[in-house]
Amino acid sequence: MSPALQAFEIVLPVEPADLDQLGHVNNVTYVRWVQEAAVAHWRAVAPVADQSKLFWIVLRHESDYLQPALPGDSIVARTWVGSASRVRFERFTELLRASDRTLLAKARTMWCPIDAQKRRPVAVSRELRASFSVP
């Protein structure tokens, strides 16, 4: 299986600035982590030539918050690409507590590739789609 088709993981710390008035991680931080995982996956796997030609924007973001992340936790952001068309990529992300792999939140995000120079949506090649997305 291509490395791009496997789930990609990064570890993220819970920082004091991530906490809300209830003492747990604010929902906005979870969204930031979803984006950080997607960007890290793209940079780790995509060909360098494609990285310099394409930017990505979010078209739709859905999140389910299941358990709180707390001070002292480390978070595993686990992400993979689902279906992809020429201009839409479905990405899934799970946010897990590193110490016990408890699922804290999950997200489904629709991304659109943008031409880096023209700043307009651009079709992604069949080869790039095949290397990142499930059939």
In order of start, what are the domains of the chain with their CATH numbers?
7-132 (3.10.129.10)
CA distances for 19 relative to 23, 32, 36, 63, 75, angstroms: 6, 13, 18, 18, 14
pLDDT tens, position by position, 101-113: 999 999 999 999 9
Q: Is the pLDDT of residue 135 over 60?
A: no
Q: How far, in Å, CA of 64 to CA of 96, rounded?
A: 13
pLDDT of residue 90: 95
- Coil/strand/helix, residue 73: coil
The predicted model scores a pTM of 0.90
4: pLDDT confidence band, cut at 50, 70 and 90? Answer: low
